[in-house]
Each structure stands twice: as C-alpha cells, then as structure tokens.
Structure 1
Amino acid sequence: MKPIWKWIIGIFILLVVALSGAIWYFSRNWKPIVEEKLQEVIKNSTDSLYKLSYDKLDLNLAIGNVTLENAMLVPDSAVYAQMEAVQKAPDNLYDIRLKALKIRRFGIIDILTNRKLTIKSISLEDPAIHLTNKYHAYNDTVVSESKKTLYESVKDVLQSVNVRDIMMENVSFKYSKLSEGKSSDFAVKDIKISVHDVLIDETSLADTSRLMYTKMVEIVVPGFTYNFADGFYQAKFDELKINTREQNILLTNVDYKPVMNKAAYFKKKGKNVTMADLHFDTLRMEQLNFRALMDNQQTIAKKVQIKNGHAKLYNDKRYPKSPKNQIGQAPHQKLLRVKQLIDLDSVFVENVDVLYGEMSGKYHREGQISFDGATGILTHVTNDSVKLAKNKFMKADLRAKVMNSGSLHATFSFDMLSKNGAYSYAGSLKPMQAPAFNRILTPLLNVEIGSGNIRSVRFTMEGNDYRSWGDFRFDYDNLKINLLNEEGEKKKKKILSFLVNQLVIDDSNPDANEVYHIGKVNHKRVPEHTFFKNLWQSLLDGIKQTAGISPEREQRLIGSAQSAKKAVEQTKGSVKKTKGFLNRLFKKDEEKQQE
C-alpha cells in the first residue's frame, strides 16, 4: 500500500507545484494584458473622453488580490472641446481620484470553470469625486439610445458577478455648476459608503429585494453647509444617513435660514418679501421607495417625521410690496401642480414652534404671533391621480399653544380635485387671557387689551379661491381695550378708549342683555391675499361680529368724537379747562382722519 500512497502524494505535490508555477507565470504576464485591457475599455466606453492612470498595479492570482494605487480617472479637455464643437458633449464631467483600490479574495477557479466571479470585498481609500455640470441645450432634444443592462454587458464573459462588501471611507464630493462663465460650488467631505451583497446575473435586476443589484447601500454624510447663489440663504445639516435595506433617510439639525439678520435682509432686498427661518432637529422618511426615487424621481413613502424645531416667517412693511394675484396658490393646489409624483401616507409633526413676525411701517415696531409646540398629522399627502380618484381629500389634524397660552386644535380638509380650490377647516381654542395677544396688537396697531377672559373659541368654516363662509363662536368676558398715544404705550387715550369700550365693543359674549352673538362669516377674498392671510381675515370677521363690532358701531364712535369736539367749541370762554382737555384729546385724531 505504501507505494500507492507515495504515488498519490507525489502526484499531488506535482500538481501543486504546477499550479503554483502557472499562477506565478500568469501573475507576471497577465499584468501587461490587464493594463492594456483597462485602457482599452476606458477609451471605448467613453469615446476617448476619459483617461485612466495609476502608479502601481499589483495582481496576485494565488490568493485572489488586486491593488491599484493612486488611480485617477480624468477627462481630456481637448476631447471635450471637440465634442462640444459637434454638439455631442455630455452635461456632466467627472474627475475621480483615489489613493488605492483593493480587491480581495476573488476566486480564479470559479472564473475558469464556471465563468462566475466571486469577490469577498472591494475597498476604495480616500476617493475624491468632482462633478462639473455645464448645460448644453442640445442634450434636451437628443434621443438617447436604449442602453444595455449591466448584466448584458458582462454576460459574454461572465455568467454572474457577486461582491459581498464594498467599502468607501473618507469620500470627498464636490459639485460645480458652470453658467455664463461663473461657477457655483458646494462640497461634502468625510462621506462613508457601505454596499452589501452585490449580485449581477440574469435574475438580479428583477429581484425586488435589491436596489441596483445590491441588498443594501448605507451612506453617512457628516456636516454639510451650502450657501445659495443669491447670497441670502444657507442650508445645512449635521448628519445625513441613508439605508436602502431599512428604506430610511434621516437628517439631523437641519437649517434653512438667512445668512444675515432681519434688518440687513430687508434692506438688501429693498422690498417687503417673506423671510423664512427653518430649523428641525429631526427629519426622517420611512419605507421610502428608493427604486421609484432613483428611476423616476418619485417620492413615495409611508411616513415622514418632522420633530423639534421652528418655522419663523417675517415681513417688514417699511418696504414696498409688489402685490401678486394669489388665486390658485393654496398649499394643496401647489402640491397638485408638482410634476414629479409625491405620495406620502402620513406626515407627523412633533413640537414645532410656528411664528409670524411683522415690522410695522407706521410705528417701526415688530409684532409677533406664535403657535408653540405644534404637533399633529397630515394624511394622504399626494398628487397621485390614481389614489385621488379613490380619495380626493388631504387632511391635517394639528394642535398648538397660541401665544404659548391657550390650547388650539384645528383640522383641515383639502379637496385636491376641486377646480376652485375648495377646502374646509374647524377648530377650538381653550381658555386663555386675552392680553396675551398684545404681543402682536400693540406694536402693529398701537392698541392694547387691558383685560379679558377668553373662555372658548369654536369655528367651522368652508372656503375656496374666492370666498369663505361658516360659523364663529367666541365666549369671553371682562374685555377692555386701551387706545394708545403715538408717544408711547404708557400714555393712553382714556376718553376715546372709554368710548370704544362703551359704544363699539361688547365686554362679554353673551352681552349685558344676555344675548349670545354668533359670527356668520361670509368673507370675500382679496385676490392679493395669500391662503393663510385669507384664513386670518375670515376668522377676524367672525371675531368682530361676536364682539359686537359692527360698521354702525364704528360710525357711532366717529360721531361721538365729533359731537364732543363741537360741544367744547360751544362752551368756549365758560369752561376753559374742559375745552383744553377735550381739545387735546381729539386734535390728533382729527389730524389723522384728514391725512
């Protein structure tokens, strides 16, 4: 038996030596073949636009390793100029550089016997990608030829390609947009990209569990800041995480805000436009359809979460405003006109402070109204015609603290298919003190609420592009208004305030005669008013009706003031002190009316 084992061992050793020698030979002699093929593939696939260069190529077939050091894939500017001359140049140019490309543990035996390439890992060290975009009008009309799939490109050589993991660390990405000889840039550094289980074969493209042949792509982008070309705004976030297997996108500490303070912003704009300041601790999309997003630029997700932050809007009436017709510009109408499909089952809002501030053009003071800690849900946020045919309503259910005091609950229903922008809304406000509204009334109107208990507010409204109608109920008591002199809010117009409280408004609802007033709103929209301003004007109409502020009562106030002045003039010479007091009281009001 021993001679047989000797023969077996000898043959095995001989095979190992022969295989080792073959591997050594091919490792040495395949290198120039591989280098030549690489250059040929790059040249043919890019119409000679790109060139590949590197410092060193190591190929070890014995253990299945390949290393490419200091590799660069760069465009040839001369070739690009020639392509522009014949209107064949692409809009995007790529400059890709990396410290090293390492391929580990690929199976040479499987390639030779089964035409299957299996790789344990591919790593790219310090990749730097520079994408330059230059618009060419002819690319808008060029009919692109149908492209081969990745599998169709490799099937003549390999039946399948499988890579377990691809890792890219410390990725730098720069985007440059060239327009009219100017370049606008933004850059992101320290990106981490992980790709798991890449499979290219005849079945993988149709595999719904895969995205672009992969089981998972995870991208982490730390710290990003972008200054917009107009010089007014900046966008930034602390971190972006994308995971295609979990179908999630997460953004943290997101900001969209001006790069200057309010005074400088409006001075530079030179007109009264809305300034926005947005911040959210968390923006998250869950069960996002990445395939639809990448293939067709469609945003389809089950859940969007907006958590902890603020949305602040400001206007400055010291600057001129260019009125624009706002008919057809309601939020639901704008959503319906978006070209790309949007389909969000639910949008959750949690603890977001909403604030509107306005600088008075007359008193040069800023008034503010706030809805603090806004929380709620928007459902069926979509412009998908198929889904809207089954259910045409987008709805919102929101809660907040008005002026960080009274609890407001409001619901909205938007008819997405209405030709005149139909919608409805209802709400209620729980008890709060009326003077809380002085934060907006005093700076803008030079009026303060001296006292007032708001017991409840309830409203049910409907509206469209042209008018709003519905019922408004306002329960309150002990309401007192103080009119202020222009010299300052501490000096009050006591007599005129007394007339307002006695003749113009009811100090309670039900009033002193136990009559309960209900506001029957029928408000005609001013075309230049935005959707939200029209909402406020409609509610204000209800407030005035329930507080007894009718046009007749306003006229009574004006008449009383004129009568008081006339009485003073008739008693001239006999009641000088009274004359002087009342003359001082009404003189400025008369001058205002004449102006």
Structure 2
Amino acid sequence: MEVRKRKKFWLWTGSILGVIILVILVAALILSAKWKPLLTEKIKDGVYKGSHHLYIINFDKINLNLITGSLALHNVTLMPDTAVYDSLKVAKLAPANVFEIKLEKLQLTRISILKAYFDRKLDLSEIALKNPSIKMTHNKVPKKPDSVKNDSTLYQKIAKTLKSIHVGKIAIKDADFDYTNKAEPNNSSTSLKHVDINVDDFLLDSLSGQDSTRFFYTKDIGFQLLDYKSVSKDKMYTMKVDSIFGSTKSKEITISNFKMIPMFKELAFARKYKVQKDRYDLTFGRIQLKGVDFLGLSSDQKIMVKKVSLNHSKVYVFMSRESPPPPGLDKAKNFPHIALKKLKTPIKIDTIKIKDLDVTYSEYNPASKKIGSVSFKNSYGSILNVTNDSLMLEKNNHAVADLNTSLMGTSKLNLKINFNLTANDGAFSYSGSMGKFNMQGLNSLSVALGLVKIESGEVDKIYFDAKGNTESASGSLNMRYHNLKVELLSDNIDGKGTEKKGFLSFLANNLLVIDKNPKDGEAARTATMSNARIPSASFFNLMWKTVFVGIKDIVGVAIVPEKNPVKQQKVIAEKIKEQKQKDKAGKNKN
C-alpha cells in the first residue's frame, strides 16, 4: 500500500513538472514568436539611431530561444548611408573611418535574460561571428575647430541603461579584412584573408576601465592568420607567410616563414627596368616580437617592442650594372638610421637579436659578363636601441650593432657599427676584425667585378676602424698577409671571355704588389683609408669600399688611380652599344 502511494506521488509530481515544462516551452515559443518582429525592429532602430542615421543593418532571419538564452542573426549586413555620410562631412561631423560589414551568422549564446532585466547586468557566454567580411575606409575629413570633445568613458555612456556587460568569449572565424586609405594620394589598400580573432573575458563595468591587466576591457585578444599570399603592386614580387600569431596578454607576435619572392630571374628582372634596380629575395624563417605595447600602438600609433628575434633567415640582393642609375638618385636616404629617422611612425625597439642569417650580395658586371658575389654566412648578433622617438633619443641617441659572421663561409668576421640617430649628416662609425683566410676565396667577387684574379695569398689577420657620414668615410686598416700574387684580366664585352694580361700581371706582381706584410725585418704597415661616396653608392657599399681602399694601400697598389665609377659606367655602356652594333651587323651579313 505504502509503495503504491509513493509511486502515485512521483507520478503526480512528474506529471506536474512535465506540464509546467511544457507550458514554459509553449510560452517561450509564443513569446519568441511575438518578440521576433519586436526585437528585429528594436535592433534595426537601435543601430540606425545609435549611429546618427549613418548605418543601416539588415538580416534575413532571426532565431530567438528564451529557454537557452540564445539569439542568432543570419546573413547580416551593416552598410553606411553615403548620402548621410556626405552631409556629415559638410557639417564637419563625419567620422574618419567608415565600415561595411557582411557576415553569414551572428550568434549570441546563453544570455542571462532575467539577470539583465532585474539586475541590469548583461551577461552572455559567447558572441560568434561566422565568415565576416569587413571593409574599412579611412577618409580625410574636416573637423569643427570649436567642437567640444566628449570625454565620457564607455561605461559612462551605458551606465544609465546597464550596470555591466560581460561576454565570456568573442570568436571571429575566417574573417576577411580590407583597408583603404583615401587620405593618401594613391588610395593605398591592404587586404587580409582568413583571419581568426578570439577575445577572452570582455568586461565593461565601473572598475574594468582602470584594470591594468585588461586591454580594452578584455583579458586577452588573440589573432592568427594562416597561409597569407599576395602580389606586390608592381607585379614583381610574391609575398607569402605561413602563419602569424599574436596575443595581447602575452604581448607577443610570431611570424613564421615570411618570404618575398621575385617573379623573374636575376638578369630578366633587371632588364624589366631602364635604370638600375635592386632585386630582393628574402626568407625569414621565424620573426618573434616580445614585449609589444599593443595599447600604445592602438592609442598613439607607436611601435614599442622590447625584443625582436630574427631566426633562420636568408637575404639575397642582386643588382646589374648594365643600366645607368636612376636620374637624381642618392642612396643616402636609404642609410639605415636616416631611413629610420624619416619614418612617420614612432618606433622603439630595445633589442634586435639575429641568429642564423645568411646574406648574399651579387652584382652583374657587363664588362666581364659575370656575376660577382660576396656572402656572409651563419650571421648572429644584436642591434640595440633602434628608435626614432624624440623622447627616447634625448636619453640615448645611438644605436649599436655587434655582429659576427663568416665571410664567404670561410673566415670569421666581427663587425661593430655605431649609428648616430640624430646627426643630420648620417654620422656613424664602424670597426671590425677578421682572422685567417685564403684570399683565393674572394675570386668569385674580384674576377667578376674587379677583373682581378688572386693566384695566391693568405691573410693572417685584418683590423679596421673608420668613421663616416653620407659624404665619405675614413680611417685606418692593418692587414697581415703573405704570398700574394694576382692576375689582371681583360674585359669580356666582345663575348670572347676574359683573358689574362700577362705582361701587366708580371709588372703588377713585381713592381706594385707587395707580397706580404710585414716585410722581412720590417714593422707591419698600417694603411690610412679615405673614400668619397658617389650618390648611387649605398651605406654598405661605402663601408666595404673604404676598407678596399685600405687594402689597396697595404698591398701596394694605392698609386693606381681609382676609376670614376660614373664615368666608367658611361664608358662600359658605350662599349656595350658598339659591340651590339657589331653583333647585329655580323648577323645581317650571314
């Protein structure tokens, strides 16, 4: 009997609960159905009025579930009204940035409706944006000079309606971003595809604005970009990136396998232009930025980074001397510290760490019809205090590079460069030392570019020290070496190949070239070196050319006058032109 009563009790209880749940479900469905048109109207009206009639939001369908506290909008578009924007510009009230947003789905999950109604606290688990397309256009717009700045905080703007807004997670998946800057003459644009952004723990209340552990009211904003690929505006390069990861919480950005790939081979690339043009082939295996000041970047447009690491990288630069330099070219503006000084964006990088960097510079000499190369393998080191920020420069106006490398993969070279970051003449100083190496290893450079072949020669030690600016460089060099012999070569403009100038080589080795330093029973010679920069010469060209002047003095050929490179370029160009005419005449005869 007692058992039967218990069964009836639980049966009645279950039935009552079932009926209550059913009533709630039915009521929720009815309320949801009735609230959909009201909510749709409220959303559209809120966006329209809240943006001062600038933006219009539309969507195909709205799903509302009061039981689970979820809301979904499908095929959403947020578009600006161009007529309204034009009128705002006339009134000098238009915002500089205008957005066009399209997304497949906007999902809000687990909204605490009762909490929002009774406590005025909006709390939801997640906001998800699926496949959004975001276009941002920056315009140059006039502003009223007497306009009153609204200094109220974001919380103060919502305080009359809500006490707080909390979102556990905001997920933006597979987004496409397009940015156009119409304030610039060429309307520059940037596009990013397939970007993921995850925002953790967004909280807007009376205290979160002062929480130093939050970035724009969030605990973390993480982003990633995978398999990025683009083509340069001149259609001469392809840019590729395997991945970019970043986090405001860790203050880090990591870029994996960045590549800038030329579209054409060396000479084919150079012959696309009527003047000299450097060709770059770049690979950076891993670029890591630590201690990134995201807040300064966002609010003040300043790039402040504690440390940048460059790992497993290759830099290959090629230039052909077939064509003349661009008219009016002066590569002084490309000196590293001068280029840094001219950047409009303030930059401060405490340390740049370099590891496993290979650098190769190659040049085509039309006189020899060969490509000469100099390479620096397995380079590593650091660059300190890279900045153009005026306040930072008042404390320290010098950037210092301390680099170690392997010249042509054989001899260890240590190079120190001190850049004066505030000097108007681009002042800098540098010094270096190098140990033993076989000078024949330089033939890949000296034959092609200097028409000189080193038959033998061993360097025991080199040390150099110099100061320079955009006009020139000078200093001293000490090189200890022995058993030096050279061959002088003819040019190869006629295409018959370079040939040894036997008699001149004999005279050079016996009358000019000093085969060793120090000579037997004598003190080691030290050379003074001085080199005036021509406008087409780069920063690194000035450095190595100055050292080359010192080497010439040490080995005894400083009395041979240096040919003016500008005049020499014209002579070679004229010879090439004559040879082409001969070749063409020969073909016509055949």
- Fold shared per TM-score above 0.5: yes
Give yes or no for the alignment of 1:393 onto 2:401: no
In structure 1, what is the equivalent of residue 419 of structure 2? 414
* SS across alignment from 1:354: strand
**Equivalent position to 2:118, from 108, 113, 118:** 113
Q: Deviations over 1:266-324 (max 9, x none)?
A: 22221012222221111110110110111111111111011112122222111111353
* SS across alignment from 1:268: coil
In structure 1, what is the equivalent of residue 548 of structure 2? 540
Distance in 1 separating the partners of 2:148 and 2:269? 45
Residue pair 1:328, 1:420 contacting (<8 A) in 2 also: no
Residue pair 1:256, 1:278 contacting (<8 A) in 2 also: yes
Residue pair 2:364, 2:372 contacting (<8 A) in 1 also: yes
* SS across alignment from 2:35: helix
In structure 2, what is the equivalent of residue 462 of structure 1? 467
Residue pair 1:184, 1:229 contacting (<8 A) in 2 also: no
* SS across alignment from 1:229: coil
Give yes or no for the alignment of 1:507 onto 2:515: yes
* SS across alignment from 1:38: helix
Residue pair 1:91, 1:139 contacting (<8 A) in 2 also: no
In structure 2, what is the equivalent of residue 318 of structure 1? 322
Residue pair 1:326, 1:529 contacting (<8 A) in 2 also: yes
- What's the RMSD between the two structures over aligned residues? 3.3
**Equivalent position to 1:243, from 235, 247, 252:** 247
Residue pair 1:365, 1:443 contacting (<8 A) in 2 also: yes
Distance in 1 separating the partners of 2:399 and 2:187? 41
Distance in 2 separating the partners of 1:383 and 1:294? 18
Change (3 A) 1:448 1:323: farther
Distance in 2 separating the partners of 1:36 and 1:151? 25
Deviation at 1:334? 2.6
* SS across alignment from 1:33: helix
* SS across alignment from 1:340: coil
Distance in 2 separating the partners of 1:340 and 1:289? 14
Distance in 1 separating the partners of 2:328 and 2:516? 38
* SS across alignment from 2:275: coil
Letter in 2 for 1:506: I
Q: Deviations over 1:430-486 (max 9, x none)?
A: 111101111111112222111111111111222334443332111111111011234
Distance in 2 separating the partners of 1:181 and 1:367? 40
Deviation at 1:158? 0.6
**Equivalent position to 1:520, from 520, 528, 533:** 528
Change (3 A) 1:387 1:411: same
**Equivalent position to 1:550, from 539, 554, 558:** 558
Deviation at 1:326? 4.7
Give yes or no for the alignment of 1:225 onto 2:229: yes
In structure 1, what is the equivalent of residue 442 of structure 2? 437
* SS across alignment from 1:106: coil
Identity score, percent: 28
Residue pair 2:367, 2:491 contacting (<8 A) in 1 also: no
Distance in 1 separating the partners of 2:176 and 2:335? 41
Residue pair 2:439, 2:456 contacting (<8 A) in 1 also: yes
Moved more, 323-332 or 104-113: 323-332
Residue pair 1:504, 1:550 contacting (<8 A) in 2 also: no
Distance in 2 separating the partners of 1:380 and 1:139? 37
Change (3 A) 1:191 1:330: closer
Deviation at 1:251? 1.0
Give yes or no for the alignment of 1:190 onto 2:194: yes
Moved more, 54-63 or 236-245: 54-63
Moved more, 213-222 or 171-180: 171-180
* SS across alignment from 1:492: coil
Deviation at 1:327? 4.9
* SS across alignment from 1:514: coil
Give yes or no for the alignment of 1:299 onto 2:303: yes
Change (3 A) 1:186 1:344: closer
* SS across alignment from 2:56: strand
Change (3 A) 1:423 1:99: same
Which ranges in structure 1 are unaligned for 5 or more consecutive residues?
Answer: 556-595
**Equivalent position to 1:529, from 537, 544, 549:** 537
Distance in 1 separating the partners of 2:89 and 2:278? 42
Change (3 A) 1:282 1:181: closer
Q: Deviations over 1:538-569 (max 9, x none)?
A: 21121112112232xx48xxxxxxxxxxxxxx
Q: How do residues 3-82 of structure 1 correspond to structure 2 at under 5 angstroms?
A: 26-76=31-81, 79=84
* SS across alignment from 2:287: strand
Change (3 A) 1:418 1:170: closer
Give yes or no for the alignment of 1:373 onto 2:381: no
In structure 2, what is the equivalent of residue 153 of structure 1? 157
In structure 2, what is the equivalent of residue 343 of structure 1? 348
Change (3 A) 1:386 1:49: closer
Change (3 A) 1:205 1:350: same
Letter in 1 for 2:556: G
Deviation at 1:88? 6.6
Change (3 A) 1:66 1:134: closer
Letter in 2 for 1:194: N
In structure 1, what is the equivalent of residue 564 of structure 2? none
Which ranges in structure 2 are unaligned for 5 or more consecutive residues?
Answer: 1-8, 562-590
**Equivalent position to 2:480, from 475, 478, 481:** 475
Q: Deviations over 1:202-259 (max 9, x none)?
A: 2222222111111111111111122222333332211111111111111111122433
Residue pair 2:304, 2:347 contacting (<8 A) in 1 also: yes
Moved more, 353-362 or 413-422: 413-422
Letter in 2 for 1:157: T
In structure 2, what is the equivalent of residue 262 of structure 1? 266
**Equivalent position to 2:131, from 117, 120, 126:** 126
Distance in 1 separating the partners of 2:408 and 2:343? 34
* SS across alignment from 1:437: helix
* SS across alignment from 2:246: strand
Deviation at 1:492? 1.8
In structure 2, what is the equivalent of residue 492 of structure 1? 500
Moved more, 485-494 or 403-412: 485-494
Q: Deviations over 1:23-78 (max 9, x none)?
A: 56643443333222111122123343332222221222233111222222233455
Residue pair 1:359, 1:365 contacting (<8 A) in 2 also: yes
* SS across alignment from 2:212: coil
Change (3 A) 1:169 1:217: same
Distance in 1 separating the partners of 2:21 and 2:163? 28
Give yes or no for the alignment of 1:290 onto 2:298: no
Change (3 A) 1:220 1:370: same
Change (3 A) 1:540 1:323: farther
Residue pair 1:307, 1:350 contacting (<8 A) in 2 also: yes
Distance in 1 separating the partners of 2:110 and 2:508? 88
Residue pair 1:310, 1:352 contacting (<8 A) in 2 also: yes
Deviation at 1:116? 0.9
Give yes or no for the alignment of 1:98 onto 2:98: no
Change (3 A) 1:180 1:311: closer
Deviation at 1:336? 2.7
Deviation at 1:511? 2.5
User: TM-score, normalised to structure 2's length?
Assistant: 0.84
* Aligned residue pairs, count: 546
Change (3 A) 1:139 1:489: farther
In structure 2, what is the equivalent of residue 200 of structure 1? 204
Distance in 1 separating the partners of 2:553 and 2:321? 28
Deviation at 1:512? 4.7
* SS across alignment from 2:510: helix
Distance in 1 separating the partners of 2:323 and 2:185? 34
Deviation at 1:140? 11
Moved more, 232-241 or 493-502: 232-241
Moved more, 321-330 or 309-318: 321-330
Residue pair 1:422, 1:465 contacting (<8 A) in 2 also: yes
Change (3 A) 1:282 1:477: same
Residue pair 2:140, 2:183 contacting (<8 A) in 1 also: no
